[in-house]
Amino acid sequence: MGRVEVRIMTDKNYAYFTEHLDELIEKYSGKHIVIKDESIIGVYDTFKEAYDYTIKTEELGTFIIQQCVTEDEEMITFVSGNVAFV
């Protein structure tokens, strides 16, 4: 997967997160969710747990991990290739 495809996928997944933020916070408050193809594929207590379990079945760069918190508490996390940006 090339850089352009990874960036487009990341943008779409993050757009899904922001568009559904209120309902996601209501359902998964404080949890770390894994989003791939604009769908929730996992819910975890910590970023490490989300990352460790997801890389067992999913290719890096095909998903994002995002904590469900209010915009005031928000920390953006992108996982792409061999690097995690927090």
What range defines the domain where residue 74 resides? 3-85
Question: Under a CB-based contact definition with an 8 Å cutoff, are residues 63 and 36 in contact?
Answer: yes
Nearest to 68 by CA among 16, 19, 22, 11: 22
Say if residues 33 and 65 touch (Cβ distance below 8 Å): yes
- Give per-residue pLDDT as tens, 18-41: 999 999 999 999 999 999 999 999
Domain count, the chain: 1
Coil, helix or strand at residue 32: strand
pTM greater than 0.85:
no
Of the candidates 37, 17, 36, the residue with the CA atom closest to the CA atom of residue 27: 17
Q: In which band, very low, low, confident or very high, does the pLDDT at 57 lie, cut at 50, 70 and 90?
A: very high
